[in-house]
Amino acid sequence: MLENIKDAVRKFLTGSTPYEKAVDEFIKDLQKSLISSDVNVKLVFSLTSKIRERLTKEKPPSILERKEWFISIVYDELSKLFGGDNEPSVNPTKIPYIIMLVGVQGSGKTTTAAKLAFFYKKKGYKVGLVAADTYRPAAYDQLAQLGSQIDVPVYGEPNNTNSIEIAQHGVSTFIKNKIDIIIVDTAGRHGYGEETKLLEEMKEIYEAIRPDEVILVIDASIGQKAYDLALRFHQASPIGAIIITKMDGTAKGGGALSAVAATGATIKFIGTGEKIDELEVFNPKRYVARILGMGDIETILDKVRGLEEYEKVQKKMEDLMTGKGKLTLKDVYDQLVALRKMGPLSKVLQHIPGLGVLLPTPTEEQLKLGEEKIKRWIAALNSMTYKELENPSIIDKSRMRRIAEGAGLEIDEVRELLEWYNNMNKLLKMVKRRRSDIEKLFGGK
């Protein structure tokens, strides 16, 4: 089960097993968890060989311990397995917005229709539900009951057996009533293996009501068998998305998610229980962070992000020294914030190459600046306006007072920051001049 991965991460990070051996053990645990949650074996092996390849080809960023780096690679590759950067957009692109739900019987369409209605109602939209399932006995009653629970109108014609007619009537009625989002629940076929009929039926209602979005509802317990169904649906419906239900009730959720992701279809939501609010927007990265253990992974990712941001600022500093432009307080702010993300200063400083650009006399001066001061300076920078950050020369005494008050600091501290900033700019100018002197001397351009 995917839940076991969390324990494996814990064991890996805190255990005393030597790195190489710990990696082997972790990869075995990972494979076991994935396969037992029905992820396709081929996918599992290509995932782990990708991880191993990256371990040999890439270099750990200086700021991470080797074990942390390993977990960050696992996080990355697992995220790709579940859809990568695909963060679904769940906001309607127009009003009225028509959503049509399809899926085999029992997959959770009707429940999901009500969950979606509740989700959008909470966001402030006027929502209407259309009960266009004419196969299932009492289908209308089921939806009507759910609708009354969440106070959402339900359109139905319990005695009409023509589902296409009902869908059309429901949609036009709700459009007349100025409903923002119309959710159409349809009948399902009997089970797995009847996808062809399911897709044909989908097409008929589709032609009749021209929805803005078609959502295929899949029960997670079919595991990797979701692949064929999702693939055909994805190919047949360019405006299609997928919701995987019953993630709470099966060990095969990982299999269903990865299989659907492999088809290129977008998984928009996952259903995590029978209750009306048990629906989550599916974000692959957040999902993976959770199965790896949110706490452990967040600390590592913060460091990585901090380093990335730091390198961006660093690059800008270098540009400043060679080209034109000026160091603004916004640059200083970005740099300080990036530094803080990476961890305790004393530790961070040992690891950062080229730190001397911002503070030319490294460590000694740096450490004097100190944790506390960085915190206070960030507070000061936070209470400046955007204009002040971009153009600090406008900061006069009264602005200084306002900034100090906003940050809970003494006015002298703000002055000190500004002086430091001015010195920094002088230094940059000096470096620039010296560089161009050297270039002249050696005949550079």
Site residues for ligand GDP per CB under 6 A: 103, 105-111, 188, 245-246, 248-249, 271-274, 278
CB of 101 to Mg ion, least distance (A): 9
By beta-carbon proximity to ligand GDP, the closer residue of 188 and 240 is: 188
Q: Which residues pair with 184 in a beta bridge?
A: 100, 130
Partner interacting with residue 274 (select from Mg ion, ligand GDP, none; CB below 5-8 Å by kind):
ligand GDP
107 lies in the site for Mg ion, by CB under 5 A: no
Q: Report whether 383 contacts 407 (CB < 8 A).
A: yes
By beta-carbon proximity to Mg ion, the closer residue of 110 and 272 is: 110
CB of 221 to Mg ion, least distance (A): 17
Left if phi > 0, otherwise alpha if psi is -120 to 50, otherwise beta: which for 99?
A: beta
Number of residues that bind Mg ion (CB under 5 A): 2
CB of 107 to ligand GDP, least distance (A): 4
By beta-carbon proximity to Mg ion, the closer residue of 143 and 267 is: 143
283 lies in the site for Mg ion, by CB under 5 A: no
Structure-block tokens of residue 354: 């080229």
Beta-strand relationship, 154-155 and 240-245: unpaired
By beta-carbon proximity to ligand GDP, the closer residue of 287 and 333 is: 287
- Judged by CB under 5 A, which stretch of 101-109, 168-176, 280-288, 394-402 contacts Mg ion? 101-109
Q: Which residues pair with 100 in a beta bridge?
A: 184, 214
CB of 218 to Mg ion, least distance (A): 14
Partner interacting with residue 88 (select from ligand GDP, Mg ion, none; CB below 5-8 Å by kind):
none
- Judged by CB under 5 A, which stretch of 55-63, 103-111, 209-217, 333-341 contacts Mg ion? 103-111
By beta-carbon proximity to Mg ion, the closer residue of 154 and 291 is: 154
Q: Report whether 281 contacts 268 (CB < 8 A).
A: yes
Partner interacting with residue 80 (select from ligand GDP, Mg ion, none; CB below 5-8 Å by kind):
none
CB of 139 to Mg ion, least distance (A): 6
The CB-nearest residue to ligand GDP is 271
Helix boundaries (H) for 210-293: 226-236, 253-262, 284-292
Q: Report whether 194 contacts 233 (CB < 8 A).
A: no
110 lies in the site for Mg ion, by CB under 5 A: yes
Partner interacting with residue 108 (select from Mg ion, ligand GDP, none; CB below 5-8 Å by kind):
ligand GDP
Q: Which residues pair with 97 in a beta bridge?
A: 181
By beta-carbon proximity to Mg ion, the closer residue of 109 and 234 is: 109
What single letter denotes the amino acid at residue 319? Answer: D
CB of 288 to Mg ion, least distance (A): 31
By beta-carbon proximity to ligand GDP, the closer residue of 213 and 309 is: 213
The widest CA-to-CA distance across the chain, in whole angstroms, is 94
CB of 110 to Mg ion, least distance (A): 3
Binding site for Mg ion (CB under 5 A): 109-110
